[in-house]
Amino acid sequence: MTGAKLIVIYPRPTDIEAFNKCYQEEHVPMAVENLAGKTKIVATKVIGSPQGIPPFHVMVEVYFPSIEALESCAASEGGKKTLAHAVSISTGGSPIFLVAEEQVHNFTQPPAPILETMR
C-alpha cells in the first residue's frame, strides 16, 4: 500500500508575524483535531532562495496511510473546515493544494554525488 499526502504551500503572507501566530495558535491545533486518519504533519518554513525573496513561506505535508484515507478526510466536515481555514489565513494569496503519493528511497550508504550519477 502506497502512502499519500496532502501538500499545502502558503505564499509569502502580507504580515509574516500575524500569519505565523495564527498558523501556530489556530490552524495547527485545528488540523491536529480535525484531520482524521493522518499519521503525521510536517511543516517546513522557507527561509531563503538563491533567486531572492522566496515566493512561498510555509510548506505543509499531511501524511495518510492511503489515498482513500486522504480523500475521506478531505470530504469530512473537519477536513472541509480545516482546508477552508487554510485559505482564510493565507494573506499572500491562495495556498496551493497538492495530493501526492510518496515514494521513499532509503540508502544504506551515502548516495553518489549527483554529478557522478548523471554521467
* Number of domains the chain contains: 1
Q: What is the pLDDT along the chain (119 residues), one digit of tens a residue?
A: 579 999 999 999 999 999 999 999 999 999 999 999 999 999 999 999 999 999 999 999 999 999 999 999 999 999 999 999 999 999 999 999 999 997 778 877 766 676 555 55
Q: At what angle do helices 67-75 and 77-89 cross, to 10 degrees?
A: 80
- Note the pLDDT of residue 115: 59
Report the distance separating Cα 71 and Cα 29, nearest Å: 21
| Environment class of 3 (CB within 10 Å of its CB; exposed 0-12, middle 13-18, buried 19+) | middle
98: containing domain: 4-117
- Note the pLDDT of residue 1: 54
- The CATH number that applies at residue 63 is 3.30.70.100
- Note the pLDDT of residue 67: 94
- Note the pLDDT of residue 107: 78
